[in-house]
Amino acid sequence: MKAVVYALIIAVSAAAGLEAGWFWRAHAPTASSNLPESATASSAGQTNGRLDARAQHLADLTMASQLKRDLGSASGVDKWLYWMAALEKSNPDDFPKLARLARGNPAAFRFVTRRWIQEAPQNLFDTLVAQAKSGGSDLPFIVLMRQLLQQWTKTDPKAVIAALNSPDGAVAQGFRMEVASDILNGNPEQGLELFHDWHIENFGPGMGSVTPWADANPQHAAEFTIAHPAGYASQTVIDTIGTEWAKTDPASALAFATSQSGDLANRLGAAALKQWASQDLDSAGDWLAAADDQARNTLGPAFIEIWAKQDPSAALSWSEDNLQGIQLQQAVEGVMNGAAAKDVSAAAAMVNSMPPGEARTAAAGVVAQKWFPNFPTSSPIQPQIISWMSGLDQDSLNRVLSNETWTWSESDPKGMANFLSSVSPEATPSWTDSVLMRQWVRSSPTDALAWAATLPPTQAASVGSEGFTQWRQAQPDAANAWLAALPMNDPRRQSFAKQ
């Protein structure tokens, strides 16, 4: 069967070639028909140049034009044989015309573009760039550019990098993050270098290739990462290096980390110390006790976080007795992270036992982050959480609401409104009511506006007006009907009507 297909392809290819040649011979202009007898040698050369360009133009048109005619009279498998024959004979300049001919036929378009990517990736890149600059839309720019860069990166990453670094590469700048991530997954050093050079600061690539890279030579991996800072990407990479290094030689990892400066070095040390403490808490504690003050202050919170998973009360007491200021806050956050990871209810009880102050405020924020449901959710907040928050001091409650207002107002606006009505306004951020209104009015505008009316007068006017305006923009008929139904003596009739 394959032999038959191949024979058909060859036959079709040959026939198409012969017909193309006949077409060219029949239609191409000749030099003698266009040159006057008195033409000079110079003008003859210029004219021949124009004729050569015309000839090339007609030759370029031949394949796509011939294929279009052949497809018009073919059916079934013959169409695919014509397509296959054309693709076998095509050169880079043919692909744009073949791709445009394939529009409206998804299968044929895929065949053409795959072949184009395989045979002439630079040509496709240049074609898409030229189209983008001209404002054209013949080819799907985003889809084809993504497919091209994904495949081209696998076969020739240097060419991809050169293309994106060229002046024309600015058109495809939005794809740099994907390319850098794909390259890092195969070559961490080259990928990190791209993240650094292209200033990609807020994206974390996969760590699959970083682990073996770190295992092979962790100090080199750490040195390279520190020398190429790239925001979140280099942070996640250095965390992985620190964890892997500490599995085999934690003392060396920490010695190197403390000999360096900067955030990445500190993260390396923290990751290494956490891994060591999870393996051998006593040995990690002995190292930290023998370290200098700067190392202790910098890495103490990381150690305490692991310690808190085993004995949170002891870790918290040590922190309160030995640390102060930002070091105390970081240590308390570490303790509560560890305690909440083990038992969030017990961690909440620890917060209740602490005296009001910076440490308690920081601890309350951590517990709330662990205890509140993950966004998005439609579940109401657990009664235990409500009860716990009711017992917090004003600063601690303010911290909790600052962190969780968006999640709570989205998942359970009525429950949040009931809670806010039960606490002092001084204990809540000034913008909490406004955020709750914007979220609640989407799902239940009448309930949201009824709640706003219970707020202190000034707050009721501003929050209510904001909610009504949002409702009327989304559902003008329903909002206006509600406004018209208000009692004549309701002050909202006049104030809302002005919105």
pLDDT tens digit sequence for 242-268: 999 999 999 999 999 999 999 999 999
Question: What is d(CA 420, CA 481) in angstroms, rounded to the nearest whole number?
Answer: 29
Last residue of a domain, one of 118, 139, 172: 118
pLDDT at 13: 42
Domain assignment present for residue 476? The answer is yes
pLDDT attached to residue 380: 78
* Residue 61 counted as domain residue: yes
Q: What is the pLDDT of residue 376?
A: 60
Residue 52 maps to a domain: yes
Q: Given 88, 118, 148, which residue is the final one in a domain?
A: 118
Q: Please tell me which of 80-89, 330-339, 366-375, 393-402 the model is most confident about, judged by mean pLDDT.
A: 393-402
258 lies in some domain: no
Question: Which has more pLDDT, 250 or 77?
Answer: 250
**Is 106 inside a domain boundary?**
yes
Q: What is the mean pLDDT of residues 365-383?
A: 81
Per-chain mean pLDDT for the chain: 84
pLDDT at 484: 92
**418 located within any domain:** no
Of 63, 89, 118, the residue that ends a domain is: 118
Residue 486 has pLDDT above 60, yes or no: yes
Within a domain: 24:
yes
pLDDT digits (tens, 9 = 90+) for 376-428: 666 778 899 999 999 999 999 999 999 999 889 988 899 999 999 898 888 89
Count of domains in the chain? Answer: 2
Read off the pLDDT of residues 321-343 as tens digits, 9 standing for 90 and up: 777 788 788 888 888 888 888 89
Reply yes or no on whether the pLDDT at 157 is more than 50: yes
Range of the domain at 21: 1-30+48-118
Q: What confidence tier does 185 reach under pLDDT thresholds 50, 70, 90?
A: very high
CA angle 322, 324, 329 (to 5 degrees): 110
Does residue 441 fall inside a structural domain?
yes
pLDDT at 309: 84
